[in-house]
């Protein structure tokens, strides 16, 4: 499974600044998604060749009457329990506070790597002041200045070294279709309807699935694994925040699947939580099928489906080449169409285009629609090839790759989609020096 690193601490110690700086180190492959509760973000990054997901939690405040802070406390506890390593950030300017001690008490019980990080250490005097954090009883600490990145390299070297290695699955590698979405959108019911038995616990209470479980499935002459990613805490002693845990569970499942079937509740719409999960899938370059469940509960006329689909595509722009299937799990309406569509998306994701076909098809189009001149210089694209990657990535070789801007890259992507059908699959376009 993918590694998760949680960044925790009390409010205003610089966690978000640290997070933002880290995820921007690798702009080509890294992005972040804002959470639905204040001051929480999810990002994917890498260091020394090790990729991991980063969770920036809200500030931990024990005993607060503020309802938002109480919810953030739950999320911090969930993040600590789910993460493979924890970065505990404190502030050298304020020194050790009672809230720091509360977090330290929580972390001393955790049997996972914990990295005590003293932030805002940007001179020798502050480095000397940091010594007092030994009193938290967490051993050695790292000093950084998240505002300018000082010290983060040594910290990240230690973090990635402590992360457990991903388990290599030696058994047959079946395609994995992850069923993701908000709690109570109908994910488990969808799988039950497909396999014709109550393999999963299905109730009207949000978040009754205990863990991600694979179900082998064979239909349309195609065998694959279905993964239900609903989820609440496996340990009952931890208070639950179902929305937050749903995203954390989805992060792991999305990283290790081929196609995401994003189930949404038609009565709730394509809201921020669903959009977060959609963009997690897109940024991980996975195939996506959007399933609009409970369509039978929506009052509709002959225009309702088209208007709903138009709204979704506006929200997911510019990645609009995504199949949208309106289903009713209760009535078993179009559920097999949903799987058929997922199989087609998987085939699109694993499609290989011959180099000769790529060049014969696209070079004449590019010749008639060349990149705009930049500073009086003309870009000439000479050669195209598909890269040997698990998802569609294409290299366009030219004389001046640095002058090809995003609008023209989107033009090239659209030409690839128009001629070779990559429906439901993110496509990456790279400009390379010939």
Q: Which residues are annotated as a binding site for GTP?
A: 9-16, 56-60, 119-122, 181-188, 228-232, 293-296
Of the candidates 266, 340, 336, the residue with the CA atom closest to the CA atom of residue 299: 266
C-alpha to C-alpha distance for 242 and 222, rounded to whole angstroms: 33
Quick check: helix, strand or coil at residue 289?
strand
% helix / strand / coil in the chain, to the nearest 5? 35, 25, 40
Q: Contact, 3 vs 38, CB < 8 A?
A: no
Residues comprising the binding site?
9-16, 56-60, 119-122, 181-188, 228-232, 293-296
Of the candidates 112, 129, 156, the residue with the CA atom closest to the CA atom of residue 21: 156
Rg (CA), the chain: 24
C-alpha to C-alpha distance for 424 and 223, rounded to whole angstroms: 20
DSSP category for residue 149: T
H helical segments located in 222-285: 242-255, 272-283
- CB neighbour list of residue 378: distance below 8 Å, 6 or more residues apart: 370, 371, 400
Of the candidates 137, 10, 2, the residue with the CA atom closest to the CA atom of residue 62: 10
C-alpha to C-alpha distance for 281 and 176, rounded to whole angstroms: 13
Which sign, positive or negative, has the C-alpha torsion 323, 281, 308, 314?
negative
Q: Contact, 385 vs 318, CB < 8 A?
A: no
Give kind and range of the element (H or E) at residue 343: helix 335-349
Q: Cα 128 to the chain's mean position, in Å?
A: 39
- CB neighbour list of residue 257: distance below 8 Å, 6 or more residues apart: 176, 177, 178, 227, 286
Other beta carbons within 10 Å of 111: 5
Other beta carbons within 10 Å of 366: 21
- CB neighbour list of residue 364: distance below 8 Å, 6 or more residues apart: none
């Amino acid at each position: 499974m993918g590694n998760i690193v949680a960044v925790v601490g009390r409010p205003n110690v610089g966690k978000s600044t640290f997070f933002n700086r880290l995820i921007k180190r690798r702009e080509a492959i890294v992005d972040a998604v804002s959470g639905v509760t204040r001051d929480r973000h999810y990002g994917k990054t890498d260091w020394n060749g090790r990729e991991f997901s980063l969770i920036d939690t809200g500030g931990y405040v024990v005993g607060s009457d503020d309802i938002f802070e109480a919810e953030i406390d739950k999320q911090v506890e969930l993040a600590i329990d789910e993460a493979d390593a924890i970065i505990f950030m404190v502030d050298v300017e304020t020194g050790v506070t009672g809230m720091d001690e509360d977090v330290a008490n929580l972390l001393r019980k955790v049997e996972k790597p914990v990295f005590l990080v003293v932030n805002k250490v940007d001179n020798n005097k502050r480095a000397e002041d940091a010594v007092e954090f030994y009193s938290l009883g967490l051993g050695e600490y790292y000093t950084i200045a998240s505002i300018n990145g000082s010290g983060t390299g040594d910290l990240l070297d230690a973090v990635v070294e402590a992360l457990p290695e991903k388990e290599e699955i030696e058994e047959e590698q079946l395609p994995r279709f992850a069923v993701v979405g908000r709690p109570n959108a109908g994910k488990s019911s969808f799988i039950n309807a497909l396999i014709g038995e109550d393999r999963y616990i299905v109730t009207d209470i949000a978040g009754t699935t205990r863990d991600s479980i694979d179900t082998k499935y064979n239909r349309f002459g195609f065998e694959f694994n279905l993964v239900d990613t609903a989820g609440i805490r496996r340990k009952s002693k931890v208070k639950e925040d179902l929305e937050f845990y749903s995203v954390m569970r989805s992060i792991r499942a999305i990283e290790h699947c081929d196609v995401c079937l994003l189930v949404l509740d038609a009565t709730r719409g394509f809201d921020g939580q669903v959009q977060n999960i959609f963009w997690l899938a897109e940024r991980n370059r996975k195939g996506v099928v959007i399933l609009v469940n409970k369509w039978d509960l929506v009052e509709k006329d002959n225009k309702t489906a088209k208007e709903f689909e138009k709204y979704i595509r506006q929200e997911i722009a510019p990645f609009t080449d995504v199949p949208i299937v309106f289903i009713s799990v209760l009535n078993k309406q179009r559920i097999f169409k949903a799987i058929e569509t997922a199989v087609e998306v998987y085939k699109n994701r694993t499609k290989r285009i011959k180099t000769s076909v790529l060049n014969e098809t696209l070079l004449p189009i590019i010749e008639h629609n060349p990149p705009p001149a930049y500073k009086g210089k003309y870009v000439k694209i000479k050669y195209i090839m598909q890269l040997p990657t698990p998802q569609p990535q294409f290299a366009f070789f030219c004389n001046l790759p640095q002058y090809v801007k995003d609008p023209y890259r989107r033009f090239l992507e659209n030409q690839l989609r128009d001629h070779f059908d990559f429906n439901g699959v993110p496509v990456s376009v790279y400009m390379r020096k010939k």
